[in-house]
Amino acid sequence: GAARSVTVLGATGSVGLATVDLLERHSALFEVEAVAAHSDAVGLAAVARRLGARRAVVANPAAKPALDAALEGSGVATAAGPAAVIDAAAIPVDWTMAAISGAVGLEATIAAVRRGGAVALANKECLVCAGAAFMREVGAAGATLLPVDSEHNALLQALGGQSVDAVEAMTLTASGGPFRTWEAARIAQAGPEDALRHPTWSMGAKITIDSASLMNKGLEVIEAFHLFGVEAARLRVVVHPQSVIHGLVAFRDGAVTAGLASPDMRVPIAHALGYPGRLDTPAARVDLARLGAMTFEEPDLARFPALRLALEALAAGGGAPAVLNAANEIAVAAFLARRISFGGIAALVEQTLSDAAGRGLTGEPATVDEALALDAEARELATARLPGHALPAH
Ligand code: NDP
Ligand code: MG
């Protein structure tokens, strides 16, 4: 058949480049409409040339001259600014990869959702921020939302097309991150260099910090709640340091199915890109005899309070997940800038949730615009709680 048209939002990032790799390997099947990033003009231009993209867009206007220079003579159209990214996302295509990091990607992701077609969702923050309003947009547009997050992709595959009414529980696995075996006091004082050392996955900085705090798993439970429409009490987390099983579905009859793959994002991305078919990938194959053993443990909510806060925010509902996400984004950026300690991340999130509740910011955003407004208010509250000075150097 004819080539499918695709757009990649966040094309220079970890998920974006894994997507680009697959598009290049299967170039006969796809035609690339647009690629978008924030500031990495050189990286984006290279991606646009590799894929023969029609257009390349940077959100940061200051990156436009470098983008133009890098694409001179290529025939690739260029544009810049947040509105240009949203416009590019709204161009009708068959498939969009939503791989911008953070709630800042919500508007572009929603623009892709609104034009219908298939949206491969990597950007979990936008779903945690806008929640039910996001899912209503998906329903209204008749878009096909394909989860790219490895756990959710595994859960979708393990569900095997059955109704969630048949499901007793869904379990997401967590690697446990670099601090899995550390004591609480040591975790609280860990620096960015410790937290960025993920044992099994290679990912962007923000999600790597979230994986170390287990906030990532909390965001993913909220993501699963919205994606699958399974009540919170049926969602479980188990720590599985080998990261080979990504998700398990337990059915009412006692049967359990699981999704397995090597920890390589090209596997879930290929599932979303090939859906409902399958695409070849060069990812390492699961070899159980070589693996020898898989282990599992209960997550420790005392040593990893970020996971506790996320589960509590889901249980509280309303605006709590959006506030949690916004505060966490501020906290992670401050941690990476060495303004707060690792222990300060969960502390700032908890403080911001309580500040927001104190101001009555508890209602569930009814629309994506309301979610964006709540996100902005929560960011202000979190920022106001940041220390004015940097942490002393070690
Ligand atoms: P990265 O930090 O590696 O990449 C982020 C991408 O988003 C970059 O291309 C960046 O551009 C772009 N970007 C950032 N801000 C904007 C903006 N305002 N407008 C347009 N583009 C923007 O992140 P990851 O690839 O690791 O993660 C992306 C998303 O996928 C996150 O939500 C994450 O939680 C999720 N995810 C990631 C996984 C992984 O393995 N990495 C696994 C599961 C989910 P630039 O390079 O110019 O800054
Ligand atoms: Mg994940």
* pTM listed for this prediction: 0.98
Which residue among 107, 172, 203 has the greatest number of ligand 1 atoms within 8 angstroms of its CB, and so is best to mutate? 203
Long-range contacts for 294-299 (Cβ within 8 Å, ≥24 apart)? Answer: 294/240, 294/242, 294/244, 294/245, 295/240, 295/241, 295/242, 296/173, 296/238, 296/239, 296/240, 297/176, 297/238, 297/239, 298/238, 298/239, 299/174, 299/176, 299/214, 299/217, 299/237, 299/238, 299/239
Q: Is 125 annotated as a binding residue?
A: yes
- Which numbered atom of ligand 1 lies nearest the CA of 149? 43
pLDDT at 2: 87
Report which protein residue has its CA nearest ligand 1's atom 39.
203
Is residue 208 in contact with ligand 1, taking CB distance under 6 Å?
Answer: no
Nearest atom (ligand 1) to Cα of 43: 46
Q: 13 labelled as ligand-binding?
A: yes
- Determine the pLDDT at residue 392: 67
If pLDDT is split at 50, 70 and 90, which confidence band does 388 have? Answer: confident
What does the pLDDT average to over 177-203?
A: 96
Atom of ligand 1 nearest to the CA of 203: 41
Tokens describing residue 95: 């498939």
Amino acid at 242: Q
CB-ligand 1 contact for 84 (6 Å cutoff): no
Residue 216 annotated as part of some ligand binding site: yes
* Nearest CA owner, ligand 1 atom 17: 38
Cβ of 154 below 6 Å from ligand 1? no
- Expressed in angstroms and rounded, the spacing between residue 74 Cα and the centre of ligand 2 is 36
pLDDT digits 0-9 by tens, 11-31? 999 999 999 999 999 999 999
Q: Atom 32, ligand 1: which residue's CA is nearest? A: 123
Is the beta carbon of 13 within 6 A of some atom in ligand 1?
Answer: yes
Is 206 assigned a ligand-binding role in the annotation? no
Residue 133 has pLDDT above 80, yes or no: yes
Nearest-CA residue for ligand 1 atom 42 is: 149
Distance 118 CA to ligand 1 centre (A): 19
Q: Is the CB of 85 under 6 A from ligand 1?
A: yes
What pLDDT score was predicted for residue 389? 67
The answer on whether 210 is annotated among ligand-binding residues is no
Answer yes or no: is the C-beta of 36 below 6 A from any ligand 1 atom: yes
Beta-carbon neighbour count of residue 360 at 10 Å?
8
Kindly identify the ligand whose nearest atom is closest to the C-alpha of 328: 1
Tell me the residue length of the chain: 394
- Is 377 labelled as part of a ligand binding site? no
Spell out the long-range contacts of 374-377 with Cβ–Cβ below 8 A and sequence spacing 24 or more: 374/129, 374/319, 374/322, 374/323, 374/326, 375/103, 375/106, 375/129, 375/322, 375/325, 375/326, 376/326
What does the pLDDT look like over 310-363, one tens digit per residue? 999 999 999 999 999 999 999 999 999 999 999 999 999 999 999 999 999 999
| Pairwise CA distance, residues 329 & 311, whole Å | 17
Neighbours of 244 (CB within 10 A): 19
Partner residues linked to 119 by β-bridges: 96, 145
Between the alpha carbon of residue 143 and those of residues 11, 15, 41, 193, the distances in Å are 21, 21, 30, 40
Is the Cβ–Cβ distance between 362 and 319 less than 8 Å? yes
Query: pLDDT above 90 covers what percent of the chain?
Result: 96
What is the average pLDDT value for the chain, to the nearest integer? 97
pLDDT of the residue at 393: 62
For residue 86, the model assigns a pLDDT of 98
Residue 1 has pLDDT above 70, yes or no: no
Site to probe by mutation for ligand 1, drawn from 15, 119, 156 as the one with most ligand atoms within 8 Å of Cβ, is 15
State if residue 207 touches ligand 1 by the CB under 6 angstroms criterion.
yes
Q: What are phi and psi of 390, to 5 degrees?
A: -75, 160
Asked if residue 246 belongs to a known ligand binding site, the reply is no
List, for residues 251-296, the tens digit of each pLDDT value: 999 999 999 999 999 999 999 999 999 999 999 999 999 999 999 9
Ligand 1 pocket residue status of 42, Cβ below 6 Å: no
Q: Which ligand has an atom closest to residue 198 CA?
A: 1
213 is in an annotated binding site: no
User: How much is the average pLDDT of 301-308?
Assistant: 98
Tell me which residue of 345, 344, 359, 349 sits closest to 323, measured CA to CA: 349
As a whole-number percent, the residues of the chain with pLDDT over 70 amount to: 98
- Encode 32-65: b = buried (16+ Cβ within 10 Å), e = exposed: bbbbbbbbbbebbbbbbeebebbbbbbbbeebbe
